[in-house]
Amino acid sequence: MESWRDVTCPIQRTAMLFADVYIIMILRDLATGQKRFTELQQAGINPRILSQRLKMLTREGVISRTRFVEKPPRVEYALTPKGLALMPILDALKTFGEKYLPLDDNASSSSSS
């Protein structure tokens, strides 16, 4: 498919950039405050994918990368104002999921009769 810049529909433009489950996971985790690389990995994203997505999100201006010159080195990722503007999308995903994708609660139960 073409680049998002070649598309005029704002829905599709946004989707072409951010409709990716890894990106959404990262944004979700940053919604509660700045996070470090390792912390973001905990969500179950491998370092290669994570690095790649963080680069892209930084390039698009939705997250910031702050490098603290310490030992050991520390890097914090945080939402920018543009990134904050994506939060309504996550809210809508959440609302839908809670209502229409309820948990089956058959996960941890092994002793039910």
Partner DNA sequence: CCGTATCCGAAGGGATACTG
Partner DNA sequence: CAGTATCCCTTCGGATACGG
Q: Which residue ranges make up the site for DNA (CB under 7 A)?
A: 1, 20, 22, 36-39, 45-49, 51-52, 54-55, 65, 72-77
SS3 17: helix
Contact 18, 89 (CB under 8 A): yes
Positions 61 through 90 that interact with its own copies (CB under 8 A):
82, 85-86, 88-90
Which listed option, its own copies, DNA, none, makes contact with residue 100 (CB within 5 to 8 Å by class)?
its own copies
Provide CB contacts within 8 A for 74, sequence distance 6+. 36, 67, 68
The C-alpha angle with vertex 27 and arms to 93 and 48, in degrees rounded to 5, equals 120
Positions 28 through 57 that interact with its own copies (CB under 8 A):
28, 44
Tell which residue, 25, 40, 17, 10, has the closest CA to residue 94: 25
Write down the least CB distance from residue 25 to DNA, Å. Answer: 11
Stretch of 12-20, 33-41, 50-58, 69-77 contacting its own copies, by CB under 8 A? 12-20
Write down the least CB distance from residue 101 to DNA, Å. Answer: 19
